[in-house]
Structure 1
Amino acid sequence: MKIPIYFNARFLTQAVTGVQRYAEEFVYALDSLIENKVINTEEYQLIMLSPKNIKREINVKHIQLQIVGKLSGHLWEQLELPFYSAKGLLVNLCNTGPVLNWRQVVAIHDLAIKRHPEAFSSLFRIWYLVLFNILTRSSKLVITNSNFSKQELMEVFPLRQEKVKVSYLGCEHVLRVNSNEDIISKLNLDNKQYILSVSTLNPLKNFQLTISALDVLKDQNVYLVIAGGVNDNIFEPAKLEINRNIIYAGYVDEPELRALYEKAICFVYPSIYEGFGLPPLEAMSLGCPVITSTAASLPEICGDSALYCDPSDYYSLADQIKRVMSDEKLRNTLIDKGKERARAFRWQACVKQIFDAVKKVLDDENRNRS
């Protein structure tokens, strides 16, 4: 009889931000690895469990999707998911999971909620701190995205090193879509130089630093395009100053985002805190030079393929933008090194590492029972 491995697919009912992107790419990569016989599932039955209010379809051959329960959201996850996943091991990919399940794996992508609580709404902060405290203790395995985040988890929670598995994310998804350059005209960017920032508008992304750097560069006739939505239910609003050279694109789809990356002078990502930082790798994949901050996991992920700024010093960021704008040789070097760096981050490698770790959890269970 096959061993059931369940995947918490509540992410299919949510808007796509970083963790939902991770979960969807995880499932697609896992399906591809099975199709190509890299992962053997003769012993396992792979099943996604989701509440009924699905927003997106996910087309895979080797992983079942079962719609279960009558509830939705956190209530479904806490009250119904434990019942429907009781016969197997549950894998949670998006920071959350049922507190009443002691046979599960959880992915915790960062500890921003703990290190920078001021950036989050009160209800969100309280609930997630409770969840993290319980899940880190009760889960068989904790997955995270960087050695930086692993160290954070081990400092904050009583976790043994072997209980935390690091697996870097992939970034090749940006290469799968065709560029839609209509967004350039739509934002009135034809014949304009612009730098690009991409993220949900929240204080940890440090957009104000980029805006202040733009003031220093006002004689350069350069624009800043900010692409990304906002969720006040999660984050405290980012209070940004108005500047005539700032263009708020809001949410853009993937073909539009690719065009914005490809046409930008550079990509700027001066975050205060990141557990991984996927957008810089997306930019590198598409030949857009990256300037990021020295904070948290970003040097670990970007290596020597980006320029770095002090996240508290907008003159530092302005100087790096000037360098990219004025030095064609430097810009080309960053483009070449960035593409090479991005090729090292692939979703299938990420998923193979995690699936092997999940299998080890099941093997350990079997040994303990025998």
Structure 2
Amino acid sequence: MGERIPIAINGRFVGQRITGVQRVARELTCEIDRMLGEGDDRFRVRLICEPDADLQGMDLSHIDVVEAPGTHGWMWEQTVLPRAARGSILLCLGNTAPLLSLLFQQPCGLMIHDLSYRKFPSAYRLRYRLFHASLLPVLLARARPIFTVSKTEEEVLRRLAPKLGSDLTVAQNGGWRGNRAPQTAEDAVRPPRNYALYVGSLSLRKNFAGLRDVAIRLASEDDLDFVFVGSAGRILTPVVRDIPEHVRHRIHFVGQIEDPAKLGEFYKSARCLVFPSFYEASAIPPLEAMHFGCPVVTSHLPSMIERCGDAAEYCDPYDVESIIASVRRILYDPSRAAELVRLGYERNQRFSWRTQAQTILDAISAAHAAEALGGNSRESVGLPS
């Protein structure tokens, strides 16, 4: 066995609020740690993060955690991280990478989760859109290998950068990690008795306005509560939460839930998950719901069909009547609900964090071998004007 390949994981995500991207980065880091402990000796891995980073729940035993002091947030990633990661392949799991590392050709593997800010610019604040629009050409030209989370998103990236070739790899997100099974917690937020559920950001891109209207209709006409789990981050355009007085007691905004035990209780008790997003790459909540036997209503989008297969009830996200009709098929047809539960259990087994982590490490190993043989010329990737 030759010398182990040094990998430095960009740990900026550890200090961020846990939404989809941060959840993926945490799960993959934990899975890589387990793989190292189970005998994958190809790599020597460090997690480089800001001082006082919150590693609660990660329980890393085989990845060295290195705190790199300096500034914070984006400036830390751009200025402190490149120096701390010197001599290693820098693995960035959260959509961005340090410009210094890219421009000076430090080996840098990058996961691009989605390009939703391009398709739904109104959902994001202007500063966020401008930053990512200026960074994307550099990422596509300089980072190698690049990972994305679905074939649907791969097609978008290949249209933007046709020369990526084998440097772009698809690695679908996992779902609920098996050892995160919920346990009854004394401080758990208690869900209502009869409700539909949404889990995700309160975002225009996630169709919040449509979901709000669906929740109001279901509360008014079907005597069904509706629970929103999630929040609106600083990068998102604020949404309007106006709920009529007569159903306000039936529509619950419980905020972000990061405790798996609490989140699992909401999935397990819900009549269905309602997830009619306008744009997704590799959504996590539908697979989590399937793990708990919660039927799923989601958008009839290529990425969601790729993710959910025949294990979901599909709707037109632009049509509130279509969303409601799909929910009612589950509410009032027990055989259809039971069929979706069965298919959901089967579908959930197809995706795992282990498979995603294995795909990423194999691609890094192959890129490292090609670099050693002089097979990686790092030529610029042409972008269409």
TM-score (structure 1 length as normaliser): 0.93
Matching residue of 2:381: none
In the TM superposition, what are the counterparts of 1:225-244 in structure 2 within 5 Å?
A: 225-231=227-233, 233-243=234-244, 244=247
Task: Please tell me the root mean square deviation across aligned C-alpha atoms, in Å.
Answer: 2.0
Distance 1:184 1:222 in 2: 22
| 3-state SS, counterpart of residue 100 of structure 1 | helix
Aligned 1:326-337 pairs, distance under 5 A: 326-337=332-343
Alignment of 1:148-163 (within 5 A): 148-163=152-167
* Kept in 2: contact 1:22–1:169 (CA 8 A): yes
CA distance in 1, matches of 2:349, 2:252: 31
CA change 1:33–1:208 in 2 (3 A) is same
Aligned to 1:113: 117
Tell me the amino acid that sits aligned with residue 5 of structure 1.
I
- 1:136-189, Cα deviation, whole Å (9 max, x unpaired): 1111111110001111112234542312110111113275132447688745x1
Match of 1:137 in 2: 141
Q: Distance in 2 between matches of 1:336 and 1:175?
A: 21
C-alpha displacement of 1:52: 1.3
Distance 2:291 2:221 in 1: 30
Aligned-pair distance for 1:7? 0.8
Q: Which moved more, 1:86-95 or 1:216-225?
A: 216-225
Q: Which moved more, 1:295-304 or 1:260-269?
A: 295-304
Which residue identity is paired with 1:307? E
What residue number does 2:251 align with?
246
The answer on whether the counterparts of 1:208 and 1:241 sit within 8 Å (CA) in structure 2 is no
User: Is contact 2:8–2:89 with CA below 8 Å preserved after alignment?
Assistant: yes
CA contact (8 A) 2:109 2:146 kept: yes
Structure 2 CA distance for aligned equivalents of residues 261 and 297 of structure 1: 22
Is 1:55 the counterpart of 2:58 in the alignment?
Answer: no
- Aligned pair partner of 2:279 in 273, 298, 301: 273
Structure 2: unaligned runs, 5 residues or longer = 377-385
Match of 2:208 in 1: 207
Kindly indicate whether the alpha-carbon contact (under 8 Å) linking 2:188 and 2:261 is maintained by their aligned counterparts in 1.
no
The aligned length equals: 363
CA deviations 1:40-81 (Å, max 9, x no partner) are: 33xx32111112141234422221111113122111111121
* Distance of 1:224 and 1:331 partners within structure 2: 18
Equivalent residues of 1:3, 1:45 under 8 A apart? yes
Q: How does 1:316-327 map to 2 (within 5 A)?
A: 316-327=322-333
Q: Which one-letter code corresponds to 1:75 in the other structure?
A: M
Distance 1:25 1:2 in 2: 23
> Residue 220 of structure 1 aligns to which amino acid in structure 2?
D
The whole-number CA distance in structure 1 between the counterparts of 2:31 and 2:338 is: 31
Amino acid at match of 1:100: L
Deviation at 1:343, TM superposition (A): 1.0
TM-aligned CA deviation for residue 295 of structure 1: 2.5
Structure 1 range deviating more: 327-336 or 69-78: 69-78
Q: Would you say the 8 A contact 2:10–2:90 is kept in 1?
A: yes
Between the aligned partners of 1:81 and 1:107, the Cα distance in structure 2 is 17
Q: Report Cα offsets for 1:278-300 as digits up to 9, x if no partner.
A: 10000001100000001251111
CA distance in 2, matches of 1:92, 1:248: 32
Would the alpha carbon gap of residues 209 and 133 (structure 1) be closer, same or farther in structure 2, given more than 3 Å must change? same
Shift of residue 350, structure 1, vs aligned partner = 0.8
**Equivalent-residue separation in structure 1 for 2:242 and 2:116 (angstroms):** 24
Does the 8 Å contact 1:214/1:318 carry over to 2?
Answer: no
**Which runs of 5 or more residues in structure 1 are unaligned?**
none
